[in-house]
Structure 1
Amino acid sequence: MSRQPLPSPSAEHRMRGFEPAFGLMKDAVRVAGESRGFAAARLLTHWAEVAGEDMARRTRPVKIGYGKGGLGATLTLLVKASEAPLVQMALPQLKERVNAVYGYAAIQHIHLTQTAATGFAEGQAEFTPAPKAAKPADPAVAAKAATVAEGVSDPGLRSALEQLAQNILTRPRSRTSG
């Protein structure tokens, strides 16, 4: 089964300058989503917005299946076995939020598939781990990182550059055989 090449952009399309990456990939994402039953690709691409941050950390949408009559679909979600009871209690609210994306009661049932944290081989459901506590930085490394980013006026960019410098300066050196 070979993949179809993406259509080449028109001359008008190329002359618009920079555009978001999703704009370039939206047709490919839509086709991939539709192959799994997702008529609204937004369920896949914006799952955290649709389901809410807490529910998105616990679940991943896998597919939407339609019955013989075509009315009322079933949304299948991957969930860790330890999280399944909490997700089960929140299914009515989740169904309302998902149906709000479609604009009508498209989803009649939500089926939970319990899985290990690593997921199935097909989908490799990767669940977001709890945030790690930041280790206190070595003052000498922090000072050196601050000097690297001192000429940057934007505080957010300066902070990101300092963090990058600290990560590079504290990274373990690999031994080279010589």
Structure 2
Amino acid sequence: MAEKKNTRPYKHWNRAKSISELAERAIEPLAQKRGFANAELLTRWAHIVPEPFDQSVIPDQLKWPHSGQMEGAAGAVLTVSVDPIYALAFTHETDMIKGAINRYFGFYLVDKIKPSRRPFLPQQQEDTRPQLRPLTPKVEAELNAELDGIEDAELREALMKLGRGLKGRR
């Protein structure tokens, strides 16, 4: 009887993966449906575009010209959702935003940026930091005693901050 062979090669991860790399791989199929070759424009938007457009403009779709219409280097049309408060400023700064995107990628990616007709839905940014209670003097002394042997001041301060955060959770 013939054994069933696994057709998918087993991938070894020889290094630690960051959460952002894993998130990119997870949203990549969704990004490709919207015309983005990869999810980098979506995930790095806040780093690419200058303030205040990093939070008030959200990329929506990337449309490439049809092969018959291409003359030389033709970029894509980027459709974005814009916060109505920044709509006028956005229309004046589209060339600057287009230049920032093209510089980031190192090639002529975006030829034109146009606002979407979809309503702008701002990203919810909740304060997800846990509430910390003040440490008792006894707990503070125990934490200091644990970190006495560390000579590097920066490392000691970072570990002290971590210890206060862990011991001070509610």
Instruction: Give the TM-score range, shorter chain.
Output: 0.5 to 0.7
Distance 1:156 1:83 in 2: 41
Q: Counterpart of 1:126?
A: 124
1:96-134: CA deviation from partner (whole Å, max 9, x where unpaired): 1223326125331231555354xxxxxxx33588xxxxx
Greater Cα shift, 77-86 or 65-74? 65-74
Gaps in structure 1 of 5+ consecutive residues: 1-6, 118-124, 130-136, 173-178
1:16-64: CA deviation from partner (whole Å, max 9, x where unpaired): 3x23335566554443321221124321232233213553233332322
Greater Cα shift, 140-149 or 48-57? 140-149
Distance 2:88 2:148 in 1: 50
1:109 to 113, 117, 124: 113
Question: SS of the residue aligned with 2:59?
Answer: strand
Match for 1:94: what amino acid? I
Are 2:75 and 2:108, in contact at CA under 8 Å, matched by a contact in 1?
Answer: no
Equivalenced residues, count: 149
Establish whether residue 90 from structure 1 lines up as the match of residue 93 from structure 2: yes
Of structures 1 and 2, the one scoring higher in RCO (CA 8 A, sep 6+) is 2
Are 2:98 and 2:110, in contact at CA under 8 Å, matched by a contact in 1?
Answer: no
Question: SS of the residue aligned with 2:114?
Answer: strand
What pairs with 1:1-178 in structure 2 (closer than 5 Å)? 9-10=10-11, 13-14=12-13, 16=14, 18-21=15-18, 27-52=25-50, 54-66=52-64, 73-100=76-103, 101=105, 103-111=107-115, 114-117=119-122, 125-126=123-124, 140=137, 143-144=140-141, 147=144, 149-153=147-151, 155-172=153-170
Structure 2 vs 1, CA of residues 102 and 156 (structure 1 numbering), >3 Å: closer, same or farther? same
Are 2:102 and 2:110, in contact at CA under 8 Å, matched by a contact in 1?
Answer: yes
Match for 1:115: what amino acid? F
TM-score normalized with structure 2 length: 0.58
The CA deviation at 1:149 is: 4.3
CA RMSD of aligned residues (A): 4.1
| Greater Rg over alpha carbons, structure | 2
